[in-house]
Structure 1
């Protein structure tokens, strides 16, 4: 909590900004220089400065420092971060540099298939079909042997979501990290659904972590953003020394600068405001999500519930081991397991029933975002995963719930009336929206 509130903006830094208690928003695209020599030295990296917004911005830098501090907490390594325009930009920037043909003509990647739909599209379509990268999806993400037999001398990285969207499956990070170290390739984990409040993959052995800051980190729903956080001094085969020494710094100095996927300082400023309460917010949302999941699991008209906090979930044992509310232990206190704010369920009756339940929800917002203070519901097969429908392991009748900060009793009451059919469908969409 202290790291989220303070970040790198301390008393000394505040004194340089007229004592402002909050990080100032530098809504400017460029920096003025007092002389040609100052311009040259700053652009060359010989003195402190930010030069031009595509290369950096002070407000964006405050957010990068804060995210690195949160994800690097209790990690025995130096850690740095680069923030991006969106979570998908973070995923692309975290993976693309490893696919250079300069270090091998036929690169391949090994990944868990339990991934967000757009991630699958990037790997299969943008990398595989358009650039000839071999994409090797493991059949069982919990089988380390399954991962290992797909790795060869041209494999560039291992990739997984933990927990995954929307089936909230975890992977066993420590043995996967050991496997990646033996192969001298990075293990990249998308930990958006856990957030640093519940799990820090770098502490479990991962090399690189990605987040969509649009989700729980930016729970007000006002800004989009992403982050790449990496440990320094990675031992990587056939990769440039600069990349391995400080991957996030390498992204800022090269790919991000050249390709322009930089975060707006205004968005960074709003995300800084949201991220301060990350721990307490995720704690409350997760506690409510567990209550909702347990309630749904007890209903006879619900076929299946997907939530790692339930003993019936396939990766419950990993969640019990790895997902803890940060700093919940202490003198006289036991550490508290928290299992996140996302869950899914399948109502009896198949796809028509799922559509009917979604339409009858009154309190949940029918929306494809997650991690917000407002609870949302969607059917991934027609929303977040529509572009890969038919090839995706997500059931077509699954409803995904993102539990926000409403009272859990109110959310449960809304779900009960929607499941029993006692409610009425929500208001029709505006005509302009229907036309789209």
Structure 2
């Protein structure tokens, strides 16, 4: 037999027949809703706390249910990657981003650290980099003018650069970066390449296999598509080689986070949330396949409408990073004897209706099936306007279009979603005229940072 394939790993994780035998035969991972472990003796406590024997001691250091989720996430992100991989799960996706980046900013390595990043990032990521790191800690944040220009990245790197960071695809413009090219640049500079791959999920793209060193995810999104729990994950290959960084950090980065920063700062996922996320992640491949297939149909439908100015979706040939999506985004295990691998481009897209900001607001308000919410990757389709929602607080030089409507396509029937969009775009007002033109009652909204 070959090793377990992706879908099998998602269903089974690290919970096997032997583990079930120790849990009264339970088919699923038990939820250990406890904050601490009992020990049969002082010596057992000492040895476990010292890491000399198996055990979890205290929930801030670990928990069996949380451990099963970490094993499963590592197996999925490390699938078909020629490296040993470990994961640490966190309370939120933003906690994962903070934990993945903060250790590299130590002043023990140098007094004036800087980071080089794509400006096409989620709004809260920009806030962490600009405000928490830049304004509060004096870290120089160097935003790359064009994330597709490798030369542009290289020009910002010097001996004080601590890491390269990008989202691929990004939220909300769904732009990719050339991960193999940036990985080569990071190796040359002896610094990590950190990729937020939340929108792809490991079902469509695994950046560690493309050369990235560390991957972060918001498990709140497609991995936890029921919408019951928040969570994040940091996944890293073992044996990383970075200049100036201690071996205790680079040998097993995720393990270092669990035993040090997470233990000390307390950003540990609750066992109940880990338990619900384990239930959701089992169907990740099939769910992302279905959602992505629907999203492509929705994007093609919108692109063919005369009352839609622009559509943002990497599956469309018109998208700026379509060539990268065609190269890097594949439904895992879709190829095999007698069948070709298939591209899938994710569940998120955006569009600009004719009529500017007033039209964007009207379309959003008229949608019946889409839920107006600032979340994505759920089984329920959601809609937001990033300029007034996810990216309202961001300042900078490159704007998210203020009239952009962002859609996250869920598991409803695709025809129903398209019909909902059709009625929202074409509904007539009481005077019998189509209401897609500007309205003086709706002011233009100024927002300044890409995504």
TM-score, scaled relative to structure 1: 0.96
The corresponding residue for 1:65 is 71
The corresponding residue for 1:156 is 162
The corresponding residue for 2:237 is 231
1:12 shift after superposition = 1.1
1:119 shift after superposition = 0.1
Looking at secondary structure, tell me which structure has more helix per residue: 1
Contact between 1:208 and 1:230, CA under 8 Å: does it hold in 2? yes
The corresponding residue for 2:440 is none
Distance in 2 separating the partners of 1:258 and 1:336: 44
Distance in 1 separating the partners of 2:289 and 2:313: 16
1:368 to 2:374 alignment? yes
Residue of 211, 218, 225 corresponding to 2:224: 218
The corresponding residue for 1:139 is 145
1:321 to 2:327 alignment? yes
Distance in 1 separating the partners of 2:401 and 2:249: 39
Distance in 1 separating the partners of 2:28 and 2:113: 45
The corresponding residue for 2:21 is 15
Distance in 1 separating the partners of 2:429 and 2:122: 31
1:392 shift after superposition = 4.5
**Alpha-carbon distance change, 105 to 390 in structure 1, aligned in 2, over 3 angstroms:** closer
Contact between 1:381 and 1:389, CA under 8 Å: does it hold in 2? no
SS at match of 2:202: helix
Distance in 1 separating the partners of 2:329 and 2:91: 27
Residue of 323, 340, 347 corresponding to 1:341: 347
Deviates more, 1:158-167 or 1:383-392: 383-392
The corresponding residue for 2:269 is 263
Gaps of 5+ in 1: 426-436
1:380-395 aligned within 5 A: 380-388=386-394, 391-395=397-401
Distance in 1 separating the partners of 2:59 and 2:34: 7
Distance in 1 separating the partners of 2:61 and 2:270: 12
Distance in 1 separating the partners of 2:407 and 2:110: 43
1:391-402 aligned within 5 A: 391-402=397-408
Q: How many residues align?
A: 425
1:193-342 aligned within 5 A: 193-342=199-348
Distance in 2 separating the partners of 1:422 and 1:414: 14
Contact between 1:343 and 1:400, CA under 8 Å: does it hold in 2? yes
Distance in 2 separating the partners of 1:91 and 1:389: 20
1:423 shift after superposition = 8.3
1:420 shift after superposition = 1.1
Distance in 1 separating the partners of 2:395 and 2:419: 31
1:29 to 2:61 alignment? no
Distance in 2 separating the partners of 1:351 and 1:10: 53
SS at match of 1:9: coil
The corresponding residue for 1:56 is 62
Distance in 2 separating the partners of 1:390 and 1:375: 30
CA RMSD of aligned residues (A): 1.1
